[in-house]
Amino acid sequence: MNTETKLLLLPSLIAIALLGVGCDRAEEHDDHGAEVGHAESDGHTHGAEEDEHAGEAGDGHGHDEHEEDVVRLTPEQLERAGVRIEPLAGGTITTHVTLPAEVGLNQDAVLHVTPRVPGIVSDVRVFLGNDVRAGDLLAVIESPELGEAKIAFLQAVQAKAIADAELDRQRTISDNTATLLDLLRQEPSTDELQERAADLRIGANKGRLLSAYARLRAAEANYAREKELRDRGLSTQGDLLAAQEAYNSNQADYFAAFEDVDFTFRLRFQEAERSAQVASSAVGNAERRLHLLGLTDEQVRGIETEPDINVSRYELTAPIGGRIVTKHITNGERVSLDEAVYTIANLDTVWLNISVYARYTDLIDEGQEVTVHAGDRTVRGVVDYISAVVSEDTRTVSARVVLPNDNRAWKPGEFVTVRVETASMSAARVVPIEAIQFYEGREVVFVQSEEGIMPVPVRIGTR
């Protein structure tokens, strides 16, 4: 067969990947295939052609060697051998680097559960590997500190109830006293005053004011009578002066009582208001302390009606939903404030932590797509974070990809490989990398012609 015929056959040549034949690869290799050309004697790369010495017509040995290399297989044999036949054509060659990576927990969705109070564990409800929802009971702890806080809260609530009752009483007294004082300013008769003040609940000050007012009215009437008698010459000057003195004395007593009651009722009402405010603040502070110890509003409201046996009961609940990935709590154990007893992780997403070698840091950027391989699983992801610090231990830079994990297929701690595309180019002739085989000391591809399947030496342009 002459060279021209071979060239005419090239567009219809079929590359065959034969099983069991290996080939060397560089650490940076292509995604789709390799650009191929023929193997020239001078070692330079030219177009993708067959080796000009591989069975050229007129060569005494070429034809025999050609016949020896030809393999004839039926379609059934090819199928059983797993051989795939594809036409040789142009395409795109993508180069990439393969990097190691480890699946890890999404640290933004991990929560370490620590008790808010020290105490003795009395009941462990949730165990390693269990799934929990937010609010689920994890464990019960008996805590004297919580018991003391609850007792202080109950005392504050009781003190507030007393203060509120006293405030209500003083408000009633204040309102009634103000009404009585307004009535006295109208200077009614003693009988009218007694009638109108009958329903005013004031306490001791009511009797004090009414008595002083009655004495004043009596002294006033007596003084007026003595003046009239004196004017008519029916009384002595001494009797008039005595009546005047009695009137002045009772008037002073009445005004003093009036002013004292007016001042006192206002003062006592203000004191009752302050006491109620202090009591309310004490309840608020006691409630805030309970919240600091981990109790919810509902739990605080239930303290007043809960049994005494539960006064020191502390319920450790799940703050988020997820899976229990660590557990450090057992019945009878004493727990403290500085030790996490559970770790809850939301596994809906996981982090893929990629170790990027220093020489590849310029090839990977945030927002770049990568391909993740783990066994027979292949997924695409996007780099969302690249560390600015090189690890002192591994001398690598950490890059991160967030992967969805709804079906829990990704297991934290699992090792995978990540392929990062670094460049791409077009080539006139491209074959899959698996189609390039090492045969009799040369790199070849196997092609199918009318005569059968034969190896054709090639020179790799770009791998």
- CA–CA distance from 291 to each of 119, 224, 299, 357 (Å)? 17, 72, 9, 49
Q: What domains appear along the chain, each with residue ranges and CATH number? A: 3-27+34-90+425-462 (no CATH), 149-291 (1.10.287)
pLDDT of res. 20: 32
Per-residue CA distances from 111 to 130, 338, 407 (Å):
15, 14, 21
Kindly report the length of the chain.
463
Cα separation, 440 vs 453, in Å, equals 16
What is the structure's pLDDT at 75? 80
Closest CA to 444 of 20, 71, 29, 37: 37
Residue 314: the pLDDT is: 93
pTM of the model: 0.60
Per residue of the chain (463 residues), give pLDDT as tens. 443 322 223 333 344 433 333 333 334 444 445 555 543 333 333 334 444 443 333 344 444 555 567 778 788 887 787 777 888 788 888 788 999 999 999 999 999 999 999 999 999 999 999 999 999 999 999 999 999 999 999 999 999 999 999 999 999 999 999 999 999 999 999 889 888 988 888 888 888 999 999 999 999 999 999 998 888 888 888 888 999 999 999 999 999 999 999 999 899 999 999 999 999 999 999 999 999 988 889 999 999 999 988 999 999 999 999 999 999 999 999 999 889 999 999 999 999 999 999 888 888 999 999 999 998 899 999 999 999 999 988 899 999 999 999 999 999 999 999 999 888 788 878 887 778 888 888 888 888 877 788 888 888 876 6
**What distance in Å separates the CA atoms of residue 219 and residue 242, rounded to the nearest whole number?**
10
Q: Kindly report the backbone phi and psi dihedral angles of residue 422, in degrees, each rounded to the nearest multiple of 5, phi listed first.
A: -115, -30
CA angle in degrees (0–180, nearest 5) for 325-371-389:
65
Phi-psi label, residue 452: left if phi above 0, alpha if psi -120 to 50, beta otherwise: left
458 in Cβ contact with 445 (< 8 Å):
yes
How far is it, in rounded angstroms, from Cα 187 to Cα 251? 13
Query: What's the pLDDT score for residue 354?
Result: 96
What is the pLDDT at residue 463? 67
Dihedral (CA of 355, 360, 362, 365) sign: negative
DSSP result, 70-104: -B---HHHHHHHT--EEE-EEEEEEEEEEEEEEEE
Contacts of 65 (CB under 8 A, 6+ apart): 55
The answer to whether 343 and 324 are in contact (CB under 8 A) is yes
At 241, which amino acid appears? L
